[in-house]
Structure 1
């Protein structure tokens, strides 16, 4: 099989199926149904009046390969919190105003023990761990991380313990997708099957119909390549294969693709080469078939299991099976509901996507079912949404917060699915290119580390359309935004100033500012988005991508809906 060197393709195989259940997000939604509270709400942690230690550890990368054995490391987090998040334990601290001191940490895996002093109330502390004495294997190693703490003014010792998993796999010539657990970003080799160094990768692309859009015309793939896609194919059950192509860097082919011969032709053309994720036999067959292709990015299993009220253990059973067969690629799921059975479903994923599509809906009345929508009843196209960009901002942030509460903030990441369709069914309009970009910007500012829009073909034409906007924006995401998001040393802060949503990163030299105005006309002082040191906007600020706002020495002028990418250097 031949591979086009310039066509870096990455597939994500999905094993999910979407269908409309009798309820949606646990709610009745038809006119002849009664109101029954759905339940399934996420339980927030209780508060603590005294300090707690949230002690966690994780390998820097998942998986590690034999070639990484000498350079492996673990991350240790030791923040002081006042919420009973998963694993939090009471800790006695010295009097206020005195040094907190450090933890004596030991990481144990098999015969290997590594120790280090870790500052208390720190995050991202790395401890080198040589794992070359371990045998590489498909089964993850159990890791014990223990800590001992004595306050500087006390001789009393306090002990803490947590656990982690180390996936240490044999080297392979097939594709490998690592996850950097410092940032949540994926790391991949060139997808031409010829090897090379691993590098960070932020997916940025679209779902696309496999049948009939791709299967009926393979030349479409050549056009997608020229446009810069990374290609994501979705199976009949919404199985997902991810491949890079050019204007966007990710594409999902969504079902049906029952014609497996045609599906294989699409895979071959794209660069290298009735299934349901709950059918483990079918899952195993697909994993065996595609695990070795050189441009496989990740597996996607459940698509909207919360909406369909799938069995709570379904995502975990599939997750466990895939890891028994192939630990070289992460597993993603897509959740549709705002707050319905989040906890059980995310146990079966490394990557959690939302697919909230709020723009153009009526959040209180469904034109499809002619019923009202409330927190307990109805289906309006976007669960518990207001019909604004705020819904996506809140959904991404909420998912991040819940994973943190569950103790998964290192081991599970959040991706976003910006809305790239409309003007039908629940949606009375289609997002403009600027609105589509804003959905992505606010997602990055709230912790998303990948973006897969639904769907392609989308609006085409000039720079005001989604496709026209994506032509330029995907390049900027790769060249300007990605280096900050994947940098484990970069600091991050979030600001909300009179409706302007702003994310600020600093890599030690340069600042990156992403802004989205979700409100009215407003002037934003630099100091209110973390850049109060700016005195000369001409020399210190670069407008990388903006809609219409202007800048001066003291701040930015925003109109409703304005967006921007700025870099600033002192």
Structure 2
């Protein structure tokens, strides 16, 4: 096997890195745009190209295995079949006028392809992680178990040199605060070559004992596949490994367009048991090229306490073709987060792939573009707004944070990692709710029809309170409130809708309801 792996690595190393940016020589860019006052604006390019509108309906047929991988011990599997009718992507549908007549019925055949990964059960002590393509939920097995456990990853990025490297007891402290994943950013001595495994291995052992799963940051250098090979060789059988993380804002930095895909292909050739993730910073800069190198995409959107139209660092304006304000093409509102997630899902639909998306809520401040830390209430809004718009995990940047943020995220942790919340995200169908009586109130439902129950997440994006709000969902009637997982009480049911006399400023609520 390893002879094959090294042959693959050598083959990938021989592939040229692709650069295709519009900046003149010597002009620094972020998200493809000049940002220094000494440089002029130009068209950065890289914008996602939408297909032309088709006046006739199209069948966007997709067929794929429900799970990203199956093991030989899995007793059954299933396929997901999507037959979406679109005017953007797909194959032409035969259209006939509706009239009464006798005709011969004929069949029209549509074809598509997919991949199925059917792998041996692990016997080397390693874990396995799979993605549910219906929901985006991750689940894992460890220690040769045959039972998959779902997980909603909830954690922070934490830099090695700023927190972890003092002692392995930092892992025990971190786990005790309710987080279920660790993302150790390899700064300081972890960025050295060769990698200091003798220093790092005790942390891996401790993570096992604390049941902390690893989002392992390989610190990928596009010009050094040998280092990546060493990292994966050492870590791929570790029982706490949940997934890999290969690139932090490669689109902002202007990494070679095929760099993320090169890393992805190498990792998958060595370890098909774990998915790959990366974080994107730009609103719309070669999304398809960079996102092709991961199964899971994190969105770095940091809208709190920053001027998004004028760069306080570089003294330039910020717009679609110029400037860097720390939050690319943002308005400085919470909706920047939900808009980015919605946009990426729309891109995915056009490309025809199924990416999982996570949030990366802002948990820092008092530096560069950001004048203060978010408040505790703002932090919860950013976390739950991400979840409402399809984020199936959150990794906040970064830890340690302010006292207020650390307190509130400790309190929220048992809720979003708990069995009830995770169960609804795993089994339910996420739908956008309807709100009456107030603007900028974001609502999502996860309906489990078989149980006659739903999870409802309500987030007030206003800094001021609201009057009476009514929360509903088309075709669904609420019978009663079963439980409030987060937020205030006071929810009633009227005419099949949830009703509250008012929401506090930046209030978030998570409820379990019974349906009629």
Task: Please give the range of the TM-score, normalised by the shorter of the 2 chains.
Answer: 0.7 to 0.9
Aligned to 1:184: 136
Tell me if the contact between 1:207 and 1:254 (Cα under 8 Å) persists in the aligned partners. no
Q: Which moved more, 1:266-275 or 1:323-332?
A: 266-275
**Residue 544 (1) aligns with residue 485 (2):** yes
Q: Who is 1:313 aligned against?
A: 258
CA contact (8 A) 2:140 2:149 kept: yes
> What aligned pairs does 1:215-226 form with structure 2 within 5 A after superposition?
215-226=165-176
Greater length-normalized contact order (CA 8 Å, ≥ 6 residues apart): 1
Quote the Cα distance in structure 2 between the aligned partners of 1:94 and 1:44: 28
2:391 partner SS: coil
Give the secondary-structure state (helix, strand or coil) at the position aligned to 1:47. Answer: coil
User: Could you tell me which residue of structure 1 aligns to residue 282 of structure 2?
Assistant: 337
TM-score (norm 1): 0.76
Distance 1:530 1:522 in 2: 23
The answer to whether 1:499 aligns with 2:440 is: yes
C-alpha offsets along residues 345-370 of structure 1, whole Å, 9 cap, x if unaligned? 11111111111111111011112112
Distance 1:431 1:58 in 2: 40
Give the equivalent residue in structure 2 for 1:264. 201
Distance 1:268 1:567, change over 3 A: same
User: If the length of structure 2 is used for normalisation, what is the TM-score?
Assistant: 0.84
Distance 1:566 1:531 in 2: 19
Contact 1:211 1:256 in 2 (8 A): no
Q: CA, structure 1 residues 96+494, in 2 after alignment: closer, same or farther (shift >3 Å)? A: farther
Counterpart mapping for 1:114-513 below 5 A: 155-173=105-123, 174-190=126-142, 193=143, 195=145, 197-234=147-184, 236=186, 259-271=196-208, 275-278=219-222, 279-409=224-354, 412-460=355-403, 465-479=404-418, 480-487=420-427, 490=429, 492-495=431-434, 498-508=439-449, 509-513=452-456
CA separation in 2, counterparts of 1:563 and 1:531? 24
Determine whether 1:48 maps to 2:54. yes
Q: Give the 3 Å change call, closer, same or farther, for CA 215–23 of structure 1 in structure 2.
A: same
Distance (whole Å) between structure 1 residues aligned to residue 96 and residue 300 of structure 2: 46
| Distance apart, 1:404 and its partner CA | 1.5
Where 2:264 maps in the other structure, the secondary structure is helix
Q: CA shift at 1:260, angstroms?
A: 3.2
Q: Structure 2: how far apart are the matches of 1:315 and 1:288?
A: 19
Mapped to 2, the partners of 1:297 and 1:496 lie a distance apart of: 37
Closer/same/farther in 2, CA of residues 303 and 90 from structure 1, 3 Å limit: same
Question: Quick one: structure 1 residues 160 and 532, their matched pair in 2 at CA, closer, same or farther if it must change by over 3 Å?
Answer: closer
Are the aligned partners of 2:158 and 2:185 in contact in 1 as well (CA < 8 Å)? no
Q: CA deviation at 1:230?
A: 2.5
Paired with 2:461 and 2:165, the residues of 1 have a C-alpha distance of 40
Aligned-pair distance for 1:196?
5.0
Task: Give the unaligned 5+ runs of structure 1.
Answer: 1-20, 99-151, 239-252
Once the two structures are TM-superposed, the CA of residue 306 in structure 1 deviates from its matched residue by: 0.4
CA distance in 1, matches of 2:242, 2:42: 41
Give the whole-Å Cα distance in 2 for the aligned partners of 1:49 and 1:35: 37
State how 1:62-77 maps to structure 2 within 5 Å.
62-68=68-74, 71-77=76-82
RMSD: 2.7
**Using the alignment, how far apart are the partners of 1:291 and 1:81 within structure 2?**
41
1 CA distance for matches of 2:140 and 2:37? 49
Query: 2: CA distance between counterparts of 1:511 and 1:200?
Result: 18
Structure 2's unaligned 5+ residue stretches are 1-26
* Partner in structure 2 of residue 57 of structure 1: 63
**1:54-90 per-position Cα deviation (integer Å, ceiling 9, x unaligned):** 111111112111122x51222111121222x2xx001
Q: Structure 2: how far apart are the matches of 1:72 and 1:528?
A: 34
CA contact (8 A) 2:65 2:78 kept: yes
**Per-residue deviation, 1:471:** 1.9
Shift of 1:195: 2.9
Are the counterparts in 2 of residues 209 and 255 from structure 1 also a CA contact under 8 Å?
A: no
